[in-house]
Amino acid sequence: MFEKFNFELDKTDYVGYEYAEDSYNSYGANGFYKLKNGGVFNPDEGVDYYSYYVVPPLPSYFSFFYRYFRLIR
């Protein structure tokens, strides 16, 4: 899903994605948004990067971590 970073998603505060109210109980952390396929993702922004932690829908037993570095000039 996040093969290429979409700056518009970050700028619009992930409009179109439902916030997972139960994310702490279900995934052990807050800030997850629901994906259309039943999985969830958690966005994070650092000084020089954006990242996504993606949990696919059940019965998956793995997760994905995407990190995109931005140039600081």
Q: What does the pLDDT look like over 25-64, one tens digit per residue?
A: 777 677 888 888 888 888 888 888 888 889 898 888 889 9
∠ CA 28-32-38, rounded to 5°: 100
Q: What is the pTM of this model?
A: 0.76
Cβ atoms within 10 Å, residue 61: 6
- The pLDDT-based confidence of 13 (bands split at 50, 70, 90) is confident
| Residue found by looking up tokens 């932690």 in the block | 53
Write out the E strands in the chain: 33-34, 40-45, 49-55, 64-69
Burial group, residue 27, by CB count within 10 angstroms (0-12, 13-18, 19+):
middle
Cα 34 to Cα 43: distance, rounded to the nearest angstrom: 12
